[in-house]
Structure 1
């Protein structure tokens, strides 16, 4: 009987060879799971075998050949929360991103308003400067035209009348050209020699295209009746227009006002 029991026990030891199956760590991309088999001899008693199986199920032995860097697959915090691996919970960064977008939008709006205001201010400044320059040019042209009109000499009458015509336009030019021959005759026959100078001038109205100017002129006039010359005082109103092609201010109307 004892011999039969010993034979059964030996047969049990031969049949109960433990096969420990260890799988590759789950979750490694691109790496197929492999299993390695490690044969281990079971103790004679069945109770230790059950305890060993239970322990191995809880704590599987890892094969170092399966993992290049064990730290690469470990959770530094020691937790199993997927959020700690995959990143912050969805929507966690929405609030800062929203504030950044709002800030950028406000900056763009402020910049656009600033540029618009600067553009408007710049345009107004340009118009003001251009208008002021046009008025000053009109005033200077009116002064010169007044001097030209009262400065005529028998010795240079053709050149003097031509200078007046060159600075005229419109009705005034047409009237002066029509009476130019008569003016020349009167100047030559009376041996006129007149020289004028501007005392004062003022802009009545004006913009970049039209202007009205008053000019006070003194002129010393010599002729056959006053060979020594006499002083004459004139007040002349001139209407001027700016020629679109040349940009020059031309007299369209001239009249004595006192």
Structure 2
């Protein structure tokens, strides 16, 4: 029997007629498996990259919200105490908002009576924990305080733990502020 002649038994079993046909079939299967594996790896890598990028963007939003919120709290002026309080309340929620709102009239009265001016600077912000709904950050800040009692741009150092959460309108708001040791 020559190489070109078919063996009737091999045809019935579905076997290739020549060894080089078998090699081509195996090569095709291997190449297909490699292509599928590369596609799966590429898909996982892309999803990790997008997830990391989204997480980095959210963490940057948390840092910005903590920075802005702390500046609002430590930067006040007797000339604009009412609007300063409104700005603080607008950027807050939960326990912090309830506590501050309850004391806001007294706060305004003291700031105006003592002729307080405080200019704040945030020195550093670090994320302690964060997820897609809330975060806890450590904030180091300094304010220069001038008041009617004789303080002339006296520095006040602040070490704060700021708890943030997403509000109903998806804004990031201060929920709680603690003094950090």
TM bucket, shorter chain? 0.7 to 0.9
Tell me how far apart the structure 1 counterparts of residues 166 and 22 of structure 2 sit (CA, whole Å).
58
Query: Any residues of structure 2 matched to 1:211-230 within 5 Å, and which?
Result: 211-226=135-150, 228-230=152-154
Which residue number corresponds to residue 185 of structure 1?
109
Return the offset for 1:98.
Answer: 3.5
TM-score, normalised relative to structure 2: 0.82
Q: CA-to-partner distance for each residue in 1:116-166, whole Å, 9 max, x for gaps? A: 111112112222222222222212221121111011111111221121112
**How well do the aligned residues superpose, as a CA RMSD in angstroms?**
2.3
User: Cα offset for 1:189?
Assistant: 1.8
Distance 2:100 2:64 in 1: 21
Contact 2:93 2:167 in 1 (8 A): no
> Which stretches in structure 1 are left out of the alignment for 5+ residues?
1-82
Point out the structure with max Rg over C-alpha.
1
> When the two structures are aligned, how many residues end up with a matched partner?
171
1:108 aligns with 2:108: no
2:119 matches 1:195: yes
SS in 2 for 1:119: helix
Q: How does 1:86-235 map to 2 (within 5 A)?
A: 88-90=4-6, 94-95=17-18, 96-226=20-150, 228-235=152-159
User: Structure 1 CA distance, aligned partners of 2:151 and 2:57?
Assistant: 42
* SS in structure 1 at match of 2:76: coil
SS at match of 2:148: coil
Q: State the match for 1:250 in structure 2.
A: 173
Kindly report structure 1 stretches of 4+ aligned residues shifted beyond 6 Å. none
